[in-house]
Structure 1
Amino acid sequence: MITAGAIVAGVRAGVLSAGAVVGDALEAARRLDPVLHFLEELDADGALRLAREVDPAGALAGVPFLVKARTPPGSPILERLMAAGAIPIGTATRARPGPGSQTYGWNGREYTRNPWDVTRSPGGSTAGGAAAVAAGVVPLATGGDSGGSLRIPASFCGLVGFKGTYGRVPRAVGRTLGGLTTAGVIGANLDDVMLATSIVSGPHRLDPTALPPWPVPILADGPFRVAYLPTLSNRYAVDPGVDQLIRDRLPVVEVIDVPLELLPTDDAWPVLSALDAGRGVEAADVQRARAVRDHNNTALADLFNVVDALVTPTTLTVAHGYDQYNENIIVGDPCWAFNVTGHPAVSVPVGLLDGLPVGAQVVTRHGDDATALAVAKQLMVELKRP
């Protein structure tokens, strides 16, 4: 699949037609979904109709994409992508509702599979979108990240998953009490992800308190000073192979040994999630969650006074089995701390371990999304599936 940027350039120049691009995506979806099970629903008629009506001047003219299942039809991210000329071809799988690990996908009959190895999960909860992007069906897919739901599948599938600063992308439900979830996109190309995020950013009538519009940044070349932590918790160890692959990429930046002591988010995250869902919580639990958030925000502010970015593994291991999410519930442990604090975090591929992608996560201070992306660009490695 060519990049979104190349599609837009081709449509504008008249060397590509939106109809042909969308037709190719639909054909690839029909061919690969019986193997990978990434679709909840395909909307071929609607996609082809939109392709015939596309304005070649749109910033995403003719770019096909998948929408995460259960996304409200009038959500700001969907509305703005389509206004820019991007064309939804259908909805992609996510995990079943309910508690527990969300690092898998389910279409109602089958588990979603990882294109790198169909015995493995593509992660989640943006499972189908990640599988489809990794398989080359579409260059972009939408998602939301409340505990790693963009970053974990990016790590498992060798993609870019970007969770901007909390509020970077407006949401249909507006600002929530717990403040965990940031909408966003997942893609194979960093420039595509930045462009799409810029397009969908800025306040919306459904979320007027969202952050101001975010122009596509010109990424700095560095040099960058970073802290590297192989794990944020003394309880959960990273796979040594994952750790070593990331360390092998670190010479492109300057690594500074800086201590960081974060309070565990195990108790805070469920309380904030309950608030987001409108469930009742005890006042004392809210106070404890707030204390965790405040402590960790202060600790990270102190860290970012010394370094430009924090680098961690995105996931502690490579992709687990497609149905082994409960056995591997802590695999995304490096991710959810930054939903509690709201910091920008991006996952990019840095290599392969036993033929499966490894992702590195880059975190920066609130609002400094551009530096996270700039460091990530230096660390990332372009992967080619066999």
Structure 2
Amino acid sequence: MKIGIDKIGFYTPHLYVDMNELAVARDVEPEKFTIGIGQDEMAIAPITQDPVTLAANAALNILDEEDVSKIDFVMFGTETGIDHSKSAGVYVHHLLGLNPSARTIELKQACYGATAAIQLAKGHIALNPESKVLVLASDIARYGLQTPGEVTQGAGAVALIISADPKIMVLENEQAYVTKDIMDFWRPTYSDIAFVDGKFSNDQYLAFFNTVWAQYKEKANKNIEDFAAICYHLPYTKMGLKALRTILEEGEERTQERLQENFQLSTKYSRKVGNIYTASLYLGLLSLLEMNENLQAGERIGLFSYGSGAVGEFFSGVLQPNYRDYLIVEKHQELFANRKRVTVAEYEEIFTESLPTDGSTVEFETVNDPAAICLTGITEHMRQYLNKSEHSE
């Protein structure tokens, strides 16, 4: 049975800050951000957007009536969950009006959570071929103002429908994965910002990639020549390039050129959004598929997932006939085109806004947020959400 990605959608907030302006404000040479880190813009989540709304908005763009009726499993990968007990996926399940006869869970392992969800979804589909699984990857990366990690912040979500006989990509069964208890990046429950050992994390990212790449080649009996492209988890876009460069010499010159060109295309969206943790790998995949019109059915895409702490995995997918017919390129281009650039001062003001931590009632005005699904406030310790599309019918 062929199982894989049937649909894929993306959402990011309507606000962003230009990295050149942020660099000037931080008394840093702009090239350090735009070239050294590889980021041009950074998405900013207003107070009316959280991981739930980002995921719901991403899914809203790809669902049709058949999907709504057939989705019987919702898996939400995130490392910025909003509740220690209740799955963020349950909120999305309600906001999208999905089939009540469904399982819904949240998965956590840093930036690896969505990959774990996809692999679990494959098992569910194998047992239930008529089912569809909604995998959500949604995060808001925060390190704090004027911190070393500030330049690698971001906000956004990717939604994927996993099914049998997928229209976009069949996920192959060979995978390689590794787990090791390390402290390269973590966020204790008492902190709303992450802690990171930057150099150590970079070194471990590369080490994990090379480990699973070697394991994958042996398991799958494949080599670098078998890939049209390799997509990477992108905490910042230069990180993926560093990993790719460690294996380029394994291929012929034309292969090296192809992989480097396709890597750059896979970073186009991330350069505009920033780090979105669990969704970063899949935003890279989406960017590649939408930016490269020359990829052909039958070509293989490699995927490297890394979640600090740490878990790494390498797996692959094969593009399906007419896959481009099932991408929503225009919607995503419109999403970027309609964003609003804010000043550094405005960004800092938005960043410092926060929800009450004592359960106090608060209401937010959502008229300035163009998203269909928004956070409208908190009442008696409960977050309140609004799906504007339901109220406009």
Same structural fold, with TM-score higher than 0.5 when normalized by the shorter chain: no
Normalized per residue, the structure richer in strand is 2
Structure number with greater CO (CA < 8 Å, separation at least 6) is 2
TM-score, scaled relative to structure 1:
0.26
TM-score, scaled relative to structure 2:
0.26
